[in-house]
Structure formats: structure tokens, C-alpha cells
Amino acid sequence: MTRSAHQETRSGFRAGRLEIRHDSAGRRIRSVALMAACVGALNLPAAGVAGQEVALPLGTQAPSASLEDLDGDPVQILDFVEAGKPTLIEFWASWCEQCEALQPRMDAVQAEFGTRVNVIAVAVAVSQSPRRVKRHLEEHDPGYPFLWDGGGDAVRNYRVPGTSVVILLDRTGKVAYTGSGGNQDLVGAVEALLGS
């Protein structure tokens, strides 16, 4: 297949599309092009306990998704979902201003509930690389894992329309909250879930 044919190869999915392109050295690069570069830019209202339902519907069992850790080793997202313990997942990008605004709220959840709630960030493969994510973590390590979604499997399976999307799973691994943007009340959502 020619270079231009590769550049035009696309596989559609609900949250965006998977593109195969080439860098300046001619190496193939797969990236997920999200419909909205950053969902928070849509000025969606702040999420309450029930959330905004911007990804999987509430009550949906969390699906599996193939990812990599930042060293390139394959992992499954469900490896980070511990039975009997809620899990908070943020779909994140280093360039996303709404993700940056959400960071103190993520830090607060980790600081206050880190022993009772799993927290993970899924770094989407849009305009960033694992190296760039590692550089970000050198400046700010929040104490929870960042996983690399290079093939867009988590974005597709969790029906994520952009970055700064948070999905909170209950103790049984079912979706209890979804929301987007930098103004989400994540501490409130976690408190409500733990109290239920």
C-alpha cells in the first residue's frame, strides 16, 4: 500500500475514528481522532452525582479494553478494577485545558479516597506520545497509574467522545457516574457512591 493510501485508511467508530498515517521518517502512526478535541470546550454543565451520561449508560458493566503501560507493556483496563472497590477513570490528554482544570479534583479524590477507590488515567493517543505523558508525570505525579490507549480500544469500548471524560464504576464494576469538563464534582460523586 502506498504512503498516501495509508494516510487515507480509516476505521470509523462512534467516538471518533482511527487514522493510520506516517511521520516524517515514514513510520506508521495510529492515532484516535476524537470528534471533540476536548469535550469540556462544549461548556457542558457541571456534573452531579448522576453525571451527564456522556459515555457508557449508567448501570453498564465495564467492558475490557487493551491498553499499554507507559513502558509499552500490554495491560487490560479491567486489571485496574478491583472487585469490591469503586474505580474512577479519567480519559486524559496533556494538551487538554479541561483535564488541567480537573487535575486538582482528581488529586483530591486520590488524597482523600486513594485507599478506598482505584484511580486511573487513560492517556488518549491524540497529539501526544507516551514520552510526552512521562514528561508530564515527571512534573506532576498524582500517585495513580496512567495507561496508554494507543489503539483507541478504551475510547471505543467506553464510548468516550473526548478528553476530560470521567467514568466512575461502583464496587461491582458497573458505571455509576459519567461526566466531562473541568468543573465536575468528583469528590461529591465518590462520596455519594461510597455512601450508597
pLDDT digits (tens, 9 = 90+) for 15-72: 333 344 444 555 444 433 333 333 333 333 333 344 567 889 999 999 999 999 999 9
pLDDT tens across 62-95, in order?
Answer: 999 999 999 999 999 999 999 899 999 999 999 9
Among 172, 175, 167, which Cα is nearest to 83's? 172
pLDDT tens across 151-196, in order?
Answer: 999 999 999 999 999 999 999 999 999 999 999 999 999 999 999 6
Q: For the chain, give every domain's residue range.
A: 36-195
Question: In angstroms, how far is CA 117 from the centroid of its own chain?
Answer: 16
Give CA–CA dist 90/88, Å, rounded: 7
User: Is the torsion defined by CA of 117, 172, 71, 12 positive or negative?
Assistant: negative
Strands 66-68 and 74-76: antiparallel
Contact (Cβ atoms closer than 8 angstroms) between residue 17 and residue 161: no
Beta-carbon contacts of 57 under 8 Å, excluding residues fewer than 6 positions away, are 175
Give CA–CA dist 55/75, Å, rounded: 22
Q: Which of 143-159 are b and which e, b meaning 16 or more Cβ less than 10 Å from the residue's Cβ?
A: ebbbbbbbbbbbbbbbb
Contact (Cβ atoms closer than 8 angstroms) between residue 56 and residue 39: no
- Write down the CATH number for the domain with range 36-195: 3.40.30.10
> What is the reported pTM?
0.74
Give CA–CA dist 177/179, Å, rounded: 7
